[in-house]
Amino acid sequence: MTTALRRLRNYIDGEFRDAADGRTTEVVNPATGEAYATAPLSAAADVDAAMAAAEAAFPAWRDLIPAERQKVLLKIADRFEERAEELIAAESENCGKPVALVRSEEIPPMVDQIRFFAGAARMLEGRSAGEYMDGFTSIIRREPVGVCAQVAPWNYPMMMAVWKFAPALAAGNTVVIKPSDTTPASTVLIADIIGSVLDELGHSRGVFNVICGDRETGRLMVEHKVPAMASITGSVRAGMQVAESASKDLKRVHLELGGKAPVVVFEDTDIAKAVEDISVAGYFNAGQDCTAATRVLVHESIHDEFVAALAKAASETKTGAVDDEDVLYGPLNNANQLKQVKGFIERLPAHAKIEAGGEQVGEKGYFFAPTVVSGLKQDDEIVQHEVFGPVITVQSFSDEKQAVEWANGVEYALASSVWTKDHARAMRMSRSLDFGCVWINTHIPLVAEMPHGGFKKSGYGKDLSAYGFDDYTRIKHVMTSLDG
């Protein structure tokens, strides 16, 4: 006897719909490796319908005074709190994440971020009006860009959806968002929440639309003639494809891509404290975080002591079932990701040494042990490329110059951290590190008020903060003659 799979649906113009051609794909719980739902495999007709709904809803949403959009976002934040347990259950099933950690580490910041952008809705500031030519006054208008096509990733499906829809809606844009094909459940639930709020407050439910699907669905969204902007959080390859597709009609593009964060540990660091914080920042969410502390550069004078302490911390870190409150992280998100992480370990060069972990855990699901690899060189594959798993690599450096060279010596430039008691050194390093974020004596905290985004192959554009809000607006110059 088989259990019927739950049916997820697209959300278009306020209605839950199957794909127009009826195609579906199975959705797997990574903690069990078993399918629990089906989701639409959306094609061109579905994308057309969602874009038409967003386009039709845009003029009225754009023309609302900011205070009215703020009311909607504040109500959405309230509803997230009211329906938190539903969101937690959906995300845990989506990703195999420990329930307690979703409750403590994801729901509160998401609610806070929505409320931040609710406030930002009323801060559409421009430079002062003034006369820059005799007889004329110039003013600046800040306007929404239009319909936004947004593609969210599978590592934080709920939170990344918030990072996309909240600034877009606050600025007066309408949205069509696609979750990853492996994690659609929580985004479909978000559609139900937002749709009910829009309905209650008398706004078109076409302001927010969700379509499920695969890479081809995402391509159709980005290449569609309606959106004025495409935003994606994903791999470098996906970002390049989006940028290429969007270039055909010069859409705006907002890209948050991969990372390979260096964690530079100097000899004056409190080793016990650094190891404790770095291991959490490296293994949280199974290392499936673009900012994860997975590439440690440690001064040669404390290398052996640091590696021993880190390996011990790894051996004491637990992964496991969603209802186990003692685990730090759950499984990798899907079978392909498990295969990728295993591949990095299998291809390690002879000079590398696995200090802890290095293997799959359990007989079902996609769990991988917390892993430490030492003895690595700067040009090794596992140092240069994003693993996106619970694997921390360690290299030994001799001086500050070499630390900077190696830290910057990758194609990614999203986040980094420096560990030292020397304030001047910390300031020098923060200037020299070529990354969008530099943490000092900590790693991974984020706040709604500060920007998140990188350089180089980590993409461009900012999430969170007033800078992230700005990315969803356009600037118009208005000049008027004083002659009447």
Q: What's the chain's length in residues? A: 484
Q: What is the predicted pLDDT for the residue at 1?
A: 43
Every domain of the chain and the residues it spans: 6-257+458-477, 262-447
CATH of 6-257+458-477, one of 3.40.50.300, 3.40.605.10, 3.40.50.720, 2.70.70.10: 3.40.605.10
Q: What is the predicted pLDDT for the residue at 125?
A: 78
CA distance 444 to 422: 21
Q: Which residue has the tokens 């706040």?
A: 447
Write the single-letter amino acid at 476: K
Those residues with Cβ within 8 angstroms of residue 424's Cβ, 6 or more apart along the chain or in another chain: none
Rounded to whole angstroms, what are the CA distances from 68 to 75, 301, 336, 410?
11, 59, 44, 45
* 256 in catalytic set: yes
Residue 165 CB neighbour total at 10 angstroms: 29
pLDDT in tens, the chain (484 residues): 456 899 999 999 999 999 999 999 999 999 999 999 999 999 999 999 999 999 999 999 999 999 999 999 999 999 999 999 999 999 999 999 999 999 999 999 999 999 999 999 998 877 788 999 999 999 999 999 999 999 999 999 999 999 999 999 999 999 999 999 999 999 999 999 999 999 999 999 999 999 999 999 999 999 999 999 999 999 999 999 999 999 999 999 999 999 999 999 999 999 999 999 999 999 999 999 999 999 999 999 999 999 999 999 999 999 999 999 999 999 999 999 999 999 999 999 999 999 999 999 998 999 999 999 999 999 999 999 999 999 999 999 999 999 999 999 999 999 999 999 999 999 999 999 999 999 999 999 999 999 999 999 999 999 999 999 999 999 999 999 999 7
CA distance 343 to 183: 23
CA distance 316 to 384: 27
Q: Which residue has the tokens 């959405």?
A: 76
Write the single-letter amino acid at 342: K
* 95 in catalytic set: no
Nearest to 397 by CA among 300, 479, 294: 300
Do the Cβ atoms of 212 and 41 come closer than 8 Å? yes
CA distance 233 to 463: 10
Write the single-letter amino acid at 464: L
CATH superfamily, domain at 262-447: Aldehyde Dehydrogenase; Chain A, domain 2 (3.40.309.10)
Which one of 95, 148, 212, 290 is the catalytic residue?
290
Which one of 106, 223, 256, 386 is the catalytic residue?
256
6-257+458-477 against 262-447: fold identical? no
CA distance 20 to 435: 44
- For 261, what's the count of Cα atoms within 13 Å in the CB-facing half-sphere? 31
Write the single-letter amino acid at 345: I
Residue 342 CB neighbour total at 10 angstroms: 16
CA distance 51 to 436: 33
Say what the pTM is. 0.96
User: Which residues are 372's β-sheet partners?
Assistant: 356, 392
SS3 string of the chain?
CCCCCEECCEEECCEEECCCCCCEEEEEECCCCEEEEEEECCCHHHHHHHHHHHHHHHHHHHHCCHHHHHHHHHHHHHHHHHCHHHHHHHHHHHHCCCHHHHHHHCHHHHHHHHHHHHHHCCCCCCCCCEEEECCEEEEEEEEECCEEEEECCCCCHHHHHHHHHHHHHHCCCEEEEECCCCCCHHHHHHHHHHHHHHHHCCCCHHHEEECCCCHHHHHHHHHCCCCCEEEEECCHHHHHHHHHHHCCCCCEEEEECCCCCEEEECCCCCHHHHHHHHHHHHHHHHHCCCCCCCEEEEEHHHHHHHHHHHHHHHHCCCECCCCCCCCCECCCCCHHHHHHHHHHHHCCCCCCEEEECCCEECCCCCEECCEEEECCCCCCHHHHCCCCCCEEEEEEECCHHHHHHHHHCCCEECEEEEECCCHHHHHHHHHHCCCCEEEECCCCCCCCCCCECCEECCEECCECHHHHHHCCEEEEEEEEECCC
CA distance 401 to 35: 50
